[in-house]
Structure 1
Amino acid sequence: MIRHAVIVSALLLSVPVAASAQQSGVGAAAGATTGAVGGAIVGGPVGAVVGGVAGAVVGGIAEDNQTRFHHYVVEEQTPSYAYDGQVAVGTALPAEVHYYEVPSRFGSTKYRYTVVNQRTVLVDPRTHEVVQVIN
């Protein structure tokens, strides 16, 4: 019983870290599903709930809005910043990259977007870290 409590506690503490570590190209719904399955294997029903929350990018562009959002970015002719490194979740972009507000019709978010190496990304404006790769 104590071991089960330790596992559940560890999963609960890992939610913020796992939420920001979403893999490129996986939407919030798919990430939530993957997290729920993994959580169920490790922690049973409670693990499924925690894993489902951890798999989604909190405050990101929901999977059902990603295609529309990408079309919006293309129509706006947002310039692409050329970056020598890999563009992935967790990458800290240089300070000179310009970030744009996400229109409210795509959901409320504290993040901003930009285009890097022809890929639309959401970025935390405080840390300049990529939190979601849209395309």
Structure 2
Amino acid sequence: MKRFASMTAALLLTLGTSAIAQTTVVLPGEVRTYVLEQNVPSVTFEGEVVVGQPLPETVEIHTIPDQPDYAYAVVNNKRVVVNPKQRTVVEVLQ
């Protein structure tokens, strides 16, 4: 019985780790650097900018050269990396 409990705990830890890994995005360094170096005005957005949530159509997103999987916006004075196809926030940098 003790061995079963240990195996169950190990399985739950493994599943929990894989669930976290699926929601974590590792940005290429050049994407992070590019977004931090750009000088674009901030857009005011009512509400909170949350990873995984889409930005409204009223927020202009900017493309990143040679990085079709990423775009960015500056919202409420925070730089955010966005999936340009779905407009979802991938990471908040500031």
The two structures share one fold, judged by TM-score above 0.5: yes
Q: Which structure's CA Rg is the greater one? A: 2
TM-score band by shorter chain is 0.5 to 0.7
Aligned to 1:114: 73
Paired residues, what number? Answer: 87
Amino acid at match of 2:64: V
The residue correspondences of 1:41-120 to structure 2 (distance < 5 A) are: 42-43=13-14, 50=18, 53-54=21-22, 56-58=24-26, 60-62=27-29, 66=32, 68-73=33-38, 77-104=39-66, 108=67, 110-120=69-79
Between the aligned partners of 1:65 and 1:124, the Cα distance in structure 2 is 12
The RMSD of aligned alpha carbons is 3.2
Q: Does 1:133 align with 2:84?
A: no
Once superposed, which parts of structure 1, at least 4 consecutive aligned residues long, lie more than 2 Å away?
A: 50-56, 68-71
TM-score by length of 1: 0.49
Structure 2 unaligned blocks of 5 or more: none
Between the aligned partners of 1:114 and 1:121, the Cα distance in structure 2 is 5
TM-score by length of 2: 0.65
Say if 2:36 and 2:79, in contact at 8 Å, map to a contact too.
Answer: no
Between the aligned partners of 2:56 and 2:31, the Cα distance in structure 1 is 27
Percent identical residues = 28
